[in-house]
Structure 1
Amino acid sequence: MNNKVLYHIKDKAIWVVFVLLFIAFTIANPRFITPNNLITIARQVSMYGIASIGMTFVILLGGIDLATGSIITFVNILCAYFMVHNGLNMYVAILLSLVVATLIGTLNGFMVSTVGMPALIATFATQTIFAGLAYLLSGGSPINGFTEKFKMIGQGYVGPIPVPVIIMIICFAVGSFILNKTYFGRYFYAVGGNEEAAQLSGIRVGRVKYLVYSLSGLFAGLAGIVMLSRTNSGQPTAGIGYEFDVITCVVLGGVSVTGGFGKLSNVIAGVLIIGGLTNGMVLMNVSSYTQMVVKGLVLAFAVGFDCIQKRKHSN
């Protein structure tokens, strides 16, 4: 009984931290809790939230995807290039861009699963490659000139709710369905918990890795499309550093860095905390360098806490 109570306390602790953070920033600056600012936070976290779903799958597998930020950037530029320089219909441009994003994820899966490269090195390589390709494709300059219809994706509303937030909610619903209602989701946990045991039980580990990294690329690509529409400009630096924030959101949400444990529902809290933390520090005029220090400390704390919990469990 005590163990069950302890488990539920740990499970809900992230939401307690979320509430306390919002209370603290509201006391420090009452503008933080205004409807306009909350909508701003919701828009800002939508990109983190969408990309964090794919990252959750990867980390559940015991892997890492450092290419997330570069995929966001490359899709940002590629979709803009398709629409502005090639004159493609927005739906065709979006579809082709998402296919490319998925293929980049599949490339990561190939290097990790078939070639046997460590995920850290494989995804760092693709991070560098596609960051460079984004500059080459854009010539280092922004790409502008989109239709009003395309702008609706990142700037529109359905009633009082921003469209990016609706997209994020749908993505979380799809991600939760995959994890909780499909056998693929169970495979993610099994491979992350013990890859060798999963292999012996008949799970095709290689295929699971291909699927997970492909999904990570797809969700990162979708985040890139939303960002492009929201900023109304294809920028060759759009997604720089996003992989750090996305990883922090996922780990802060309780997904174990060693794989096999975590829930998407808590990742939502991690996303909101990082979004609220970033917005709150901006309102308080905290310098960007100090923000980097704070976010680094948050990531270190989250990973350290996970490692301590794992050590206690193993003992």
Structure 2
Amino acid sequence: MNERNFTAVTYFTIRGLSDSADLQLPIFLLILLMYVVVLAENTTISLLIALDHRLHTPMYFFLFNLSSLDILYTTVTLHKILAIFLSGVSAISFNDCMTQMYFYISSVCNEFLILTAMSYDRYVAICNPLRYAVAMSKRVCARLAGVCWALSFIEAIPHTYIISGHLCFKSNEINHFLCDVLALMKLFCTDNKVLERFILVESLFVGIIPFFLTLTSYIYIIRTILRIRSNTGRLKAFYTCSSHLTVVVILYLTIFCLYTKPTSMVSLDSDKLFSLLYIVVTPILNPLIYSLKNQDVGSAWNYCLNKIRIKLT
């Protein structure tokens, strides 16, 4: 192939969700609305957990981490497309693109790990309740959360290193609304089989191992629940587990649809919708599924409102 068709880029242009001029304003307003909802819900949950000592339990500790993660990666991934809508400038520097991709990849990994830690918390609470205080002490929870964040930041380094060192691209236009690995791989002017195999192998450790750990936890949880003699107790336990399991299923289906198929089968237009589902819809659903239906969170909300009301009067 002629090297004159290749480009050593210093910046990329973000193509966005749609090329239609008539859809730009509705898309911008929709993304802005969803982003505000994500910030409002997850900030509220984080503040409630931080301010109310009754929520200083392992389950809510991990919910705090999950909400913080949702705020982080939603901001990292959506700030540029919102800025493009406002300014009309679709360019993003090479370094900024690599930074966005790094935090996006680490966020995906971190969500897998935090959900796995949460499944372990539910396993201990239901299967070994007498050991719960020791097995899920504050020190253990802090270490689990620290490992989740550290591993996720380490896991994103190889992707970023390989792509940042690949300076030869067919074009500098990214057919996506963010700097995604698959979208960038489509622009490579050389064979990307090595990176493709690396992603598939790494998905085994990042996605499949946490998936089986979560699945194993729920196998033991379900076995324990089925032994509960009280119908009310069984229904309550199943209801608690179903919320977490719903989020796990949505996350894994979305991510596996995105990253576990060969790049030759990738349709970036359809992958934009899967990415938007993961980046925006999942963080909106997480507080609703985990917290807003929970009586403890409702009590904490009333408690905080009463404190604010007392201070204002």
Q: Aligning the two structures, in what range does the TM-score lie when normalised by the shorter sequence?
A: 0.3 to 0.5
- Bigger relative contact order, structure 1 or 2 (CA pairs below 8 A, ≥6 apart): 1
Relative to the length of structure 2, the TM-score reads 0.34
